[in-house]
């Protein structure tokens, strides 16, 4: 699970020739201007949002439209300089660091503001008031590998300190800050077993779901033995997960990769304090097949398109191999 990531870099290009610069950016980078909120929402870590404004605009108030360029800021600036565009001045926005917290947003904002000497505000005000060299820490409940727009940032702290200095401290402090906000984490054990010994594919499927849904921190993994019946032992792959998710929900979601239609691809068991969570405790389902179908539908509402595609490919492969 990721607790921290960078937001996009934000660059302001000041020019008396706005039309010419916009046309040049479109040609150089092959992108169109889009609404600012959409540009931020679609941006990924280390990509760049570029604003073109007049020479005398207030330094860092974003205009309504922007270019989203899927390159790191130094690459963009070098190409702009080498293209000799008619730009009078460049301003760089304060660096945005996104931090995911499960709950207690107000308490989290206060903890960060007190620790790093910052001021609590909404994200748009932080963008307006922050300048080059400042650091903005935005708190969100969303998983960090998904698109995050301004509306998904529940609050921000503006810190008038260099982001490298702040980030070095924050990357070390994050586990402690999360522990203060969520003192009662769940430690669960997940065991996966396949009678056909196709562990490579099944472990890949399990890891994809855990990582794409950002279900928690994997704190240990490896091979073990299980004893389904007396005097019978079978190899299982086991991992320990530290999560703030409800263990029953984790069990429910993982049920969605046990079956392909009516064909079982693997067995996945979830344990809390040594006790296995029974599938009958997950809701009123008439069978494991009905439960697996509901779980798969829920999974696919939240998984990314790339993971859904890869998961489907592996499912088909495992299902066809079990027919041979």
Task: Quick: pLDDT tens for 36-61.
Answer: 989 988 998 889 999 999 876 655 67
Query: How is the beta sheet containing 232-243 ordered, strand by strand?
Result: 217-229, 232-243, 186-193, 267-272, 275-276
State the pLDDT at residue 268: 94
pTM for the whole thing?
0.78
Domain CATH code at residue 265: 3.30.70
Report, as an integer, the average pLDDT of 262-281: 92
Q: Residues 196, 157: one domain? A: no
Report, as an integer, the average pLDDT of 193-217: 91
| Contact call for residues 111 and 180 (beta carbons, < 8 A) | yes
State the pLDDT at residue 55: 73
Tell me: pLDDT of 323 over 60.
no
Tell me the residue range of the domain where 127 lies: 4-181
State the pLDDT at residue 108: 92
Final residue in a domain of this structure, among 161, 181, 201: 181
Give the tens place of pLDDT for each residue, 142-169: 888 888 888 999 999 999 998 889 999 9
Tell me: pLDDT of 92 over 90.
no
> Which position has the token pair 């150089």?
28
Report, as an integer, the average pLDDT of 13-34: 93
Q: Residues 173, 190: one domain? A: no
Q: Residues 41, 118: one domain? A: yes
Q: Residues 164, 287: one domain? A: no
Give the tens place of pLDDT for each residue, 119-141: 999 998 998 888 888 999 999 98
Q: Residues 211, 170: one domain? A: no
State the pLDDT at residue 58: 58
Tell me: pLDDT of 232 over 90.
no
Q: Residues 111, 139: one domain? A: yes
Calculate what percentage of the chain has a pLDDT beyond 90: 55
Final residue in a domain of this structure, among 181, 196, 214: 181
Q: Residues 142, 192: one domain? A: no
Report, as an integer, the average pLDDT of 281-291: 91
Q: Residues 27, 13: one domain? A: yes
Q: DSSP strand E in the chain: where?
A: 4-6, 9-14, 33-35, 48-53, 65-69, 89-92, 95-100, 119-121, 135-140, 153-159, 186-193, 217-229, 232-243, 259-260, 263-264, 267-272, 275-276
Tally of structural domains, the chain: 2
CA dihedral sign, ordered 54, 55, 60, 66: positive
Final residue in a domain of this structure, among 160, 181, 202: 181
Q: Residues 163, 202: one domain? A: no
Tell me: pLDDT of 26 over 90.
yes
Interhelix angle for 305-323 vs 199-212, to 10°?
160
Q: DSSP strand E in 204-266: where?
A: 217-229, 232-243, 259-260, 263-264
State the pLDDT at residue 1: 67
Residue 79 pLDDT level (bands cut at 50, 70, 90):
very high
């Amino acid at each position: 699970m990721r607790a921290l990531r960078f937001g996009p870099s934000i660059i302001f290009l000041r020019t008396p020739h706005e039309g010419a610069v916009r046309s040049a950016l479109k040609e150089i980078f092959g992108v169109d201007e889009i609404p600012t909120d959409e540009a931020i929402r679609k941006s990924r870590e280390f990509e760049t949002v570029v604003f073109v404004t007049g020479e005398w605009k207030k330094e860092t108030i974003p205009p309504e439209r922007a270019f989203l360029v899927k390159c790191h800021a130094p690459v963009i600036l070098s190409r702009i300089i080498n293209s000799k565009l008619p730009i009078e001045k460049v301003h760089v926005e304060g660096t945005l660091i996104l931090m995911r917290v499960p709950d207690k947003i107000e308490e989290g904002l206060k903890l960060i503001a007190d620790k790093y000497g910052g001021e609590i505000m909404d994200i748009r005000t932080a963008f307006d008031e922050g300048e080059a060299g400042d650091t903005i820490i935005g708190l969100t409940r969303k998983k960090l590998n998904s698109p995050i727009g301004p509306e998904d940032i529940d609050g921000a702290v503006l810190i008038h300190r260099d982001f490298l200095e702040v980030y070095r401290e924050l990357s070390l402090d994050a586990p402690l800050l999360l522990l203060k906000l969520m003192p009662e984490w769940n430690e669960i054990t997940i065991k996966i077993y396949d009678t056909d010994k196709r562990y490579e594919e099944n472990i890949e499927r399990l890891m994809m779901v855990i990582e794409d849904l950002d279900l928690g921190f994997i704190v240990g993994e490896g091979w073990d033995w299980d004893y389904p019946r007396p005097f019978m032992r079978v190899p299982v792959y086991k991992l320990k997960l530290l999560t703030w998710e409800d263990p029953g929900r984790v069990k429910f979601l993982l049920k969605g990769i046990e079956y392909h239609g009516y064909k079982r691809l693997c067995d996945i068991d979830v344990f809390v304090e040594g006790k296995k969570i029974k599938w009958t405790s997950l809701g009123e389902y008439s069978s494991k097949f009905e439960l697996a179908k509901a779980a798969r539908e829920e999974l696919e509402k939240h998984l990314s398109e790339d993971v859904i595609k890869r998961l489907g490919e592996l499912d088909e492969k495992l299902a066809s191999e079990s027919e041979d």
